[in-house]
Amino acid sequence: MPNSYFSKDKVIHSPDFTPFTVSWKSPSNIALVKYWGKHGRQLPTNPSISFTLSEAHTTIEMSCELKDDSENQPSLNFFFEGEKKPNFEKRIQSFLNSVSDIFPFLRQLQLNIHSSNSFPHSSGIASSASSMSALALALCDAEKNLFGEDERSSFFQKVSYVSRLASGSACRSVYPVAALWGFSRELNSSSDEYAVPVLDHLHPVFHNFKDTILVLSDQAKAVSSSAGHSLMEVHPFAKTRFELANKNLAQLLPALKKGDLETMGKIVENEALMLHALMLTSNPNYILFEPATIAVIKKVRAFRADTGIPVWFTLDAGPNVHLLYPSEEALKVDSFIEDQLLPHCIPGKSIFDSCGQGPEKLNS
């Protein structure tokens, strides 16, 4: 119920205020059907679905004190892995300003945020999903601390809504195992405004599905996601892309329900390559994979053909490869990865991850 998220009444009555701290851990996610293209206030042009990860996560600690200046915006000190990061701080400050219609009490607060990632900095692993969902968790938890539980909305739905405003894909990180974001006729509860949980629609084989993230390059992104999304506004293939994303989702959902790995794998690989095909054919265009990306994909396909083991790749908008496979096959796939794929990777940066249980509140 997004309308109920906005409230002018949520202001702090100073004599009642006691400083407090909230802490959360929130995971990254990997999209199976990709979100690529947006409109309005961060609304998606097609529905997407992702696995929630476990090992790749952000931890956030946010302390809240009453501030003494009369400036009408939240006051922020932001530290990433113990260091002041002016660029991150600027981005978060402008996000906080933009959500003060949802959290008016922020204007009265001095926030000190300490954030860190479980994965190495500059590893080419997208961190916005974990970091922005962690921030949204901290904000919604602070609101809950100050004003109590809002019975009109579920906590995680609101967290997902707020995460979306910070970074679209972040809204899918807040549920265990898998989440769907964007309205789809295939799922009545779906919405463009927030992600919904889809654990009940999954065959148990996916509950602990593996996602090994092979870090092939640690270069900064050639194009920001925002710039990438905006290329879709004038992309010659946009209409077809949005139709195909809906079609892929419609075929993927029953495959996820049945545990049909073959259909799932075909759709997931098609989505990854389509995302890159869109970047290759946009104006300006971008080549976001590296020779090692293609080498790894070819080896994965050959391994699958030779052994019959179901292991599939997907890609984000970058060169790194995610390998998806059932945990029952982990022994064989992990030794294939170690022997044949890790030599293509940046040493020490790859992550053997799997579907996880979603965010976790930490003791402050």
Residues that bind ligand PMV (CB under 6 A): 31, 34-36, 48, 126, 128, 167-169, 225, 316-317
Q: CB of 163: closest distance to ligand PMV in angstroms?
A: 9
Rounded CA-CA distance 48/46 in Å is 7
Which one, 36 or 175, has the nearer CB to ligand PMV?
A: 36
Cα separations in angstroms, 349 against 118, 178, 334: 11, 24, 15
Which one, 63 or 163, has the nearer CB to ligand PMV?
A: 163
Q: CB of 24: closest distance to ligand PMV in angstroms?
A: 19
Rounded CA-CA distance 3/11 in Å is 18
Instruction: Enter the DSSP assignment of 221.
Output: P
Strands (DSSP E) along 81-214, which ranges? 83-84, 109-117, 178-181, 195-197, 210-214
Q: CB of 35: closest distance to ligand PMV in angstroms?
A: 3
Is 92:113 a contact under the CB 8 Å cutoff? yes
Cα separations in angstroms, 108 against 69, 192, 269, 341: 9, 31, 48, 52
Run of H or E including 193? none
Q: CB of 357: closest distance to ligand PMV in angstroms?
A: 20
Which one, 36 or 119, has the nearer CB to ligand PMV?
A: 36
Q: CB of 169: closest distance to ligand PMV in angstroms?
A: 3
Contacts 24+ apart (CB under 8 A), 99-102: 99/139, 99/162, 99/165, 100/73, 100/74, 101/6, 102/5, 102/6, 102/7, 102/162
Burial grade of 287 (CB within 10 A; 0-12, 13-18, 19 or more): exposed
Which one, 146 or 279, has the nearer CB to ligand PMV?
A: 279
Rounded CA-CA distance 273/245 in Å is 12
Residue 253, C-beta contacts closer than 8 angstroms, at least 6 positions apart? 49, 186, 187, 198, 201
Q: CB of 273: closest distance to ligand PMV in angstroms?
A: 13
Which one, 64 or 315, has the nearer CB to ligand PMV?
A: 315
Which one, 168 or 356, has the nearer CB to ligand PMV?
A: 168
Which one, 30 or 109, has the nearer CB to ligand PMV?
A: 30
Q: CB of 49: closest distance to ligand PMV in angstroms?
A: 9
Q: In the chain, helix, strand, coil percent, each to 5?
A: 45, 25, 35
Which one, 37 or 74, has the nearer CB to ligand PMV?
A: 37
Q: CB of 198: closest distance to ligand PMV in angstroms?
A: 14
